[in-house]
């Protein structure tokens, strides 16, 4: 999808927040804002938002010297999500349709996001899930039968991770898929190559035990999404040859929504721009909705 003009105020907001998390003073913060003012006029609205996000966070890294400002936050998110793991597992096990429950949990886990940090309350959302208040989540698009079909017909599944913390929820979905469909399935879990916001890295995948159930690979890129032209050959090979792709989060949706092949996008709608974009698929959609999108327009 293209970048909307509404993304621009959000880039400034993110810039400010990230420089603060990096711990620099107001003078440095202002420098980043001014540098962003110089970048924006060259921004093509035809590019996807994570393309600009990539430039923005590169700039923040250069100006603040902070290689991975979200490192602590990521570790905290992983620990928090790991502490929920037993309850989440129980929730799935007690349910009728375990994969469906695991999907909804995985989408809810997508609320743990510092890029598109919104008014959504992480704990409240997760509690709604744990309490079984699934009715609270409006499913703006929910191509579950298509997801089931694809699962049945796929041997290799590429799972595109999004945020730290959230991957514990992904792990539960992957475990359910393997349990129900047997160990014949090969699942490859893709992480970002370099630190970008609170996006998942190899170390997070290990910390959250993803390596025990899936083959972990890197996208080869430092974009907060999957921009194919920046991805490694190894990743592109997997992308092309996998029978099914499960894509988590807004960033992966923003960068892959115009691709020709079928991709199952699982995410929580965290901003008005994404709500608008989903509306182009002729559905009602508002911030807070959950999406499982597998059909093309």
Nearer to a second copy, 223 or 273 (CB): 273
In eight-state DSSP terms, residue 35 is: H
d(CA 212, CA 209): 6
Residues that bind a second copy (CB under 8 A): 5-6, 8-10, 12-13, 16, 26, 29-30, 33-34, 37-38, 40-41, 45, 119
At closest approach, how far in Å is the CB of 38 from a second copy?
7
In sequence order, the 6+-apart residues with CB closer than 8 A to the CB of 231 are 219, 220, 221, 239
Return the H-helix or E-strand segment holding 76.
Answer: helix 71-93
Nearer to a second copy, 32 or 100 (CB): 32
Q: Strand 139-142 to strand 290-293: parallel, antiparallel, or no bridges (unpaired)?
A: parallel
At closest approach, how far in Å is the CB of 204 from a second copy?
28
d(CA 47, CA 45): 5
Report the chain's terminal Cα–Cα distance, integer Å.
Answer: 13
Nearer to a second copy, 12 or 80 (CB): 12
Nearer to a second copy, 5 or 86 (CB): 5
At closest approach, how far in Å is the CB of 55 from a second copy?
14
At closest approach, how far in Å is the CB of 44 from a second copy?
11
At closest approach, how far in Å is the CB of 29 from a second copy?
6
d(CA 280, CA 126): 28
Nearer to a second copy, 118 or 128 (CB): 118
- Name beta bridge partners: 291: 141, 267
């Amino acid at each position: 999808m293209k970048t909307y003009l509404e993304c621009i105020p959000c880039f400034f907001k993110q810039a400010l927040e990230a420089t603060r998390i990096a711990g620099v003073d107001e003078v440095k913060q202002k420098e980043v804002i001014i540098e962003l003012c110089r970048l924006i006029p060259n921004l093509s609205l035809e590019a996807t938002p994570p393309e600009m996000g990539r430039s923005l966070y590169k700039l923040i890294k250069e100006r603040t010297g902070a290689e991975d400002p979200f490192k602590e936050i990521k570790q905290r998110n992983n620990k928090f999500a790991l502490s929920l793991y037993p309850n989440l597992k129980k929730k799935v096990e007690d349910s009728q349709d375990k994969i469906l429950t695991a999907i909804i949990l995985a989408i809810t886990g997508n609320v743990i996001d510092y890029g598109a940090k919104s008014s959504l309350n992480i704990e409240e959302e997760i509690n709604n899930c744990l309490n079984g208040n699934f009715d609270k989540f409006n499913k703006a698009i929910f191509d579950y039968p298509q997801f089931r079909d694809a699962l049945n017909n796929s041997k290799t599944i590429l799972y595109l991770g999004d945020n730290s913390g959230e991957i514990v929820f992904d792990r539960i979905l992957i475990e359910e898929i393997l349990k129900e469909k047997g160990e014949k399935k090969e699942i490859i879990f893709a992480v970002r190559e370099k630190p970008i916001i609170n996006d998942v890295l190899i170390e997070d995948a290990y910390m959250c035990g993803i390596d025990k159930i899936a083959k972990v690979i890197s996208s080869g890129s430092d974009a907060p999404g999957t921009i194919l032209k920046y991805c490694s050959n190894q990743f592109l090979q997997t992308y092309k040859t996998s029978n099914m792709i499960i894509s988590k989060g807004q960033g992966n949706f923003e960068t892959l929504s115009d691709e020709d092949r079928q991709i199952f996008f699982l995410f929580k709608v965290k901003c008005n721009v994404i709500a608008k974009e989903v509306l182009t698929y002729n559905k009602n959609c508002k911030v807070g909705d959950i999406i499982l999108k597998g059909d093309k327009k």
